């Protein structure tokens, strides 16, 4: 699910810190530690967090359960960026707390699009022309 951050991709440290921040954010949002009426009424998933190479910016990909009310949830997360940053800093031990940026996670939409393509009659027809070993008959 992670995309390369540069020519070589993200470093092990970026991946590890991103996962720590993801766990911390998911825990904070699940426990309702930020008092906001929008955040309190939505279950928010955090499938991925990408860190910049200097670990100063964390981009959290979020999606409200069911994909409803995406804009109000993003607005609420942006409003509460500073308290969330402080709560994440308490849980993740880093030299400095990363700034948080929130984006909508569209991987579920992309996955369903790919699934629909794979189930299409044209692809099924192409697959029917191959034998069990994956070679054309």
pLDDT in tens, 84-135: 999 999 999 888 889 999 999 877 666 667 777 777 787 777 777 665 555 5
Please give the Cα distance from 118 to 33 (Å, whole number): 42
Residue 63: which residues within 8 A CB-CB, separation 6 or more? 44, 45, 47, 70, 104, 105, 108
Average pLDDT, integer, range 70-91: 93
73, pLDDT greater than 60:
yes
Please give the Cα distance from 123 to 129 (Å, whole number): 10
17 versus 133: the higher-pLDDT residue is: 17
Please give the Cα distance from 121 to 90 (Å, whole number): 52
Q: Hey, what domains does the chain have and what are their CATH numbers?
A: 12-105 (3.30.300.20), 106-137 (no CATH)
Average pLDDT, integer, range 47-63: 93
């Amino acid at each position: 699910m992670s995309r390369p951050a540069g020519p070589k991709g993200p470093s092990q440290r970026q991946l590890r810190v991103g996962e720590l921040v993801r766990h911390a954010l998911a825990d904070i949002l699940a426990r309702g530690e930020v008092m906001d009426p929008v955040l309190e009424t939505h279950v928010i998933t955090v499938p991925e967090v990408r860190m910049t190479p200097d670990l100063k910016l964390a981009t959290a990909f979020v999606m409200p359960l069911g994909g409803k009310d995406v804009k109000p949830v993003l607005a609420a997360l942006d409003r509460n960026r500073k308290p969330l940053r402080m709560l994440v800093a308490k849980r993740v031990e880093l030299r400095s707390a990363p700034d948080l940026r929130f984006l909508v996670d569209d991987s579920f939409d992309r996955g369903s699009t790919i699934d629909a393509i794979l189930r299409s009659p044209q692809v099924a027809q192409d697959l029917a022309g191959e034998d069990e070993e994956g070679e054309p008959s």
